[in-house]
Structure 1
Amino acid sequence: MFARLWRSTFGVVALVALAFTAATIAIGGIAYEVTHEALEEQLDHRVRVETHALLAETRAGGLAGIADAIRRREEARTASSLDYVLIDRAGRTIAATLVPSVQPKRGYEEHFRFRRGRYAGVGQSLATPLPDGLLVVVADRSDLEDIDRTLERLFIVALGAMLALGIAAAALIGWLTRRRLSRIDATAKAIIAGDLAQRVPGDRSGSEFDRLAATLNRMLDRIAALMENLRQVSTDVAHDLRTPLTRLCNQLERAVTSEGDADRVAAIRAARQQADELMEIFSAVLRIAEVEGLIEHQALAPVDLSALLEEMADTYRPDFEAGERRLMTSISAGLQVRGDRRLLAQAISNLLENALRHTPVGTTVRLAGTSIADTIEVTIEDDGPGVSPADAQRLFQRFARAEVSRTTEGHGLGLALVRAIAIRHGGEAVLSRSVDGFGVAIRFPHIR
């Protein structure tokens, strides 16, 4: 039980309070001892000074002179006056303002017990031997003991206040912590129950709990996006693979029922072609999942994007010319990004392939790379027919295709991969609005 207590917030704060209490006891004890010793030293000094003054005052008068001086001091006595005892060589008391409880000893005595009328007290004394007797000067310790008791009471009160404040602080902090954690716990339980829209409430205070809530909410948003992505992928795969799977089954059925070898071979080849198409779709989906899930473990390195764009343009220019299209370039020099050169090349390749596949003869395609503010932007635009506003909203989703592209080859995965690669590099991929046809802009952060 105690082991669990010290691991709780209340237990930790209580432990800190106990540590402060122990420190208070140590500091209080040291302060008490130092103060007590200082006051005792002050009493000793006062007794010593008074003894020297009394001896100097009556140096020529002997015991009789000292006795007269003691009587004068007794007549002028105040509450803070010292006490005196003068004893001759035979041990008789010649003059005294008090009655010693025991025979005085030479030198200092810290606890000298005496009586003064009905009052019994303890004092600090200095017994000085004389040629024909003994002079004892006594300072009452009652004031010192009063101060000691006052210090003890103050110390006890301070210690009690420290303990009370420590316990109260532990209870308050424990309550506040449990209250904030209960919100996180309630949110987690709601999410476990299936309500994925729940988020940890924050108070915008910038406190540790508020920052934790913001971090957890970002994590939950990421998980929700991945779950939605998984749901979308599952739906899209089930929907878009139905046609090629149906074709595959039909071709296999045709191969089984064909009587002639030529028809059977043709059906098997057609089935093989459908299977290759399915493999291509699965490979593309897997590639997008790898990029989006950050499964790529290669460390990002500086890439000369200008050189890469020039190289891709030189590679695809013959294909554009063969397809009776023009590829124009406008690439700024010195564009540098931090990334994976192979993935960047694949993104540019996908966009150029889309331009080749989905634009009519005579289309002009423009590949541009430029630096804008703190980003580097790569655009591939054409002056073709473009897409409708309804299609533009979903082109970066998996298996999404514009209506004008339904009659051409493809599976609607190219732009989804481009977007995944852009996000992998800390950027974004959006539709370009600078042309009447169709265009995609990829934005990357500058190397920092």
Structure 2
Amino acid sequence: MYMVLFATSVFILMGFIYWATAGYMSSQTDETIEAEIVGLAEQYQRQGLNGLISVIRERVARDPNGKAIYLFTARDFIKLAGNIDKWPEEGEVQEGWLNFTLNEELGWHNELDRPARARVFIVPGGLRLLVGRDVNEFMAVKELVERAINLGMAITFMLAMIGGVMMSRSTARRVEIINQTSQKIMKGNLSLRIPDRGTNDDFDQLARNLNEMLDRIFQLMEGIKHVSDNIAHDLRTPLTRLRNKLENTLLKVENEVQRELVASAVAEADQLLATFNALLRIARLEMGGRTDNFKRFNLSNLLLDSAELYELVAEDKQQTLRIRVQKDIEIHGDKDLIFQTVSNLIDNAIKYTPNDGDISIELDLHDKLVRLSIADSGIGIPEEERSKVFDRFYRVAKSRSQPGNGLGLSLVQAVVELHQGEIKLSDNEPGLIVTLELPEIDIVEGNEIKNEQAGIEVSTPA
């Protein structure tokens, strides 16, 4: 756009210069010829035919270089006076003007052919008078101006392209810096700020405004963090003590009805504590979490250990748990958080899959990404609700009869985003497929291991 605008403006300027120079010179030539015709017409009126011929011969004699062109002929085009011998038959006629070439055929006594422009004047009695000018210098200047304009336009396009590329790269570089910094901030590094060059241009102003906004957001989030810590200190501890007191009371109560009531209160307290802890953990993860515990670990072994914990639960519901894990896939992250995430997903799959259902767990590499898929044949999630299940406390209508607080997938998403991964939900017809994609570090080739036992199928390919 810059190149087009710049080139267009220069083209308009060059066009004006061409019109002002070539147009002016052309009009001057035409006015000179018109003045010659007017002067000869006056001489004819005063002195008659012989006087006109004498004036023409006198003017030809005063102009040995032939800048002015005269030809006065009879009705049959026989020359009576002038500096050319023959009426030009080949030429371009435009609105009474004749453009032709002076050459030997016309009796031109110059070695080189020259362009000419003339006007025809009819003298009473059928006589013809041709008055013109040698426009060779005008045409040379015109060609010079045209070459200069063409060369100027070529240089203009080149400079415009260089300027446009430089402006585009400069703008794109500044925008890219803002984008990269913004992406890092969105991934949790709230301490980063967008650099400015100190030039006080629009980008510096934008960077300062964004940095001020980030400072304000950081202050607000720090305030939320302090509030969360205060809640954890002021409420979680009393709630834990209340739960322990209820549990101690449960040991002392002998009445069966009262024992059930106290046990129910203990279960409710446990649910409150679990919800409270999940909320605090999600808040901390969404604020960027801590990456101090990030290290390299074997995800394949972690997934097998997690699945092993749920084998008995799957057996109790007569479910078939199929595990296919590619060996020795390693990632960089928080091992405890990933273990909790995987366990949460497996627990959901078992919980929402009916008896005699199927659950499949797969881990492999795909396009340099670690892909973990957990598929079940349970109640599934409607497509229109899949974007909502990651909201806190949101529960699908079909799952409200099951125990839970609607925070599981919110926690999973927070952990996955902390590890720069992505979570996807898709239909298993019936059931649901949950797919996690995480950055991969390394893979070691191994052998495929298969084991079928108590309804559990384990396959670990290389």
Per the normalisation by structure 2, the TM-score is 0.47
